[in-house]
Chains A and B, each alone.
Chain A
Amino acid sequence: MLAPVTGTAVGLEAVPDPVFSEGLVGPGLAVEPDRTPGRAVSPIAGEIVKLLPHAFVVVGDDGRGVLVHLGVDTVQLGGEGFEPLAARGDRVAAGRPVVAWDPAAIAAGGRSPVCAVVALDAEAEAVTALAAGAVRAGDDLFRWA
């Protein structure tokens, strides 16, 4: 799983939304993004099966899916500040930009821009080799065994 955005890797428990911090969606990792405009990239190669302005799901050829969720309560923005760079049904390479956004603008609006990356339908133990500290978009973020 590649980091979708550049910033600092943090545990999902640091995401100020219990859906992610309590692992209700699944295990994974989060990235506190640098406060500069950037592009969120796909963590894996596969098909985009869901694309909202602030979140997307990519399914690999092995059938496993990963959710990238940009910011907390960002659904309330109604897509403002997010620009899709791909479409639902597109096949993407790992590292391919999917959404352009500006974490600083999200933070300025009083919301956390933290980016959660979740292994869907995975057991917690399946997620290993968690990155720590600074990561760049496209760097290894964690392994899904």
Chain B
Amino acid sequence: MAERRVTVESETGLHARPAATFVRVAAGAAPDITVAKGDGEPVNAKSILAVLALDVRRGDTVVIRAEGDGAEEVLDRLALIAAAP
């Protein structure tokens, strides 16, 4: 399983705009993708509810994991979104 660890820099954390963008990219990709706050329970990265409910704040680390065709590529994109200020 491929993995990225990223510190969230957005002022709101992984909230409305970054969360929606993150989920849109995840949902459009083939691999199964999860996201977790730190070493917490991973949730479905393709669910906006699950991502919002993670309650990721600025400065938190998220761990994004994917398995399947195209996993590395989609993880690179998601890591950029999560790290964007």
Question: Which residues in A have some Cβ–Cβ distance to B below 8 Å?
Answer: 17, 19-20, 24-26, 49-50, 52, 55, 57, 59, 64-65, 67, 69, 75-76, 88, 120-121
User: Do B52 and A24 touch (CB < 8 A)?
Assistant: no
Please name all residues of chain A whose beta carbon is closer than 8 Å to the beta carbon of B12 when the two chains form the complex.
Answer: 52, 75
User: Do B49 and A55 touch (CB < 8 A)?
Assistant: no
With both chains docked as a complex, state the minimum distance between the C-beta of A23 and any C-beta of chain B, in angstroms: 9
Interface size on B, residues (CB 8 A): 15
27 CB < 8 A contacts A-B: A17-B17, A19-B17, A24-B17, A24-B20, A24-B21, A25-B16, A25-B19, A26-B48, A49-B53, A49-B55, A50-B53, A52-B12, A55-B15, A57-B49, A57-B52, A57-B53, A59-B53, A64-B49, A65-B49, A65-B52, A75-B15, A88-B55, A120-B48, A120-B49, A121-B47, A121-B48, A121-B49
User: Do B49 and A59 touch (CB < 8 A)?
Assistant: yes
Q: B11 at interface (Cβ–Cβ under 8 A)?
A: yes
Please name all residues of chain B whose beta carbon is closer than 8 Å to the beta carbon of A59 when the two chains form the complex.
Answer: 49, 53
User: Do B48 and A25 touch (CB < 8 A)?
Assistant: yes
Name the residue in A57, A65, A76, A120 with the highest tally of chain B Cβ atoms < 10 Å from its Cβ.
A120
Nearest CB in chain B to that of A78: its residue: B11
- The interface residues of chain B, by DSSP majority, are classed as helix
Besides A25-B19, A52-B12, A55-B15, 13 other CB < 8 A contacts? A24-B17, A25-B16, A50-B52, A59-B49, A65-B53, A67-B16, A69-B16, A75-B11, A75-B15, A120-B47, A120-B48, A120-B49, A121-B49
Distance A88 CA – B49 CA, assembled complex (angstroms): 15
Q: B5 at interface (Cβ–Cβ under 8 A)?
A: no
User: Do B52 and A19 touch (CB < 8 A)?
Assistant: no
User: Do B20 and A25 touch (CB < 8 A)?
Assistant: yes
Nearest CB in chain A to that of B12: its residue: A75
Distance A64 CA – B52 CA, assembled complex (angstroms): 13
Distance A67 CA – B52 CA, assembled complex (angstroms): 9
Distance A76 CA – B17 CA, assembled complex (angstroms): 14
Please name all residues of chain A whose beta carbon is closer than 8 Å to the beta carbon of B20 when the two chains form the complex.
Answer: 19, 24-25
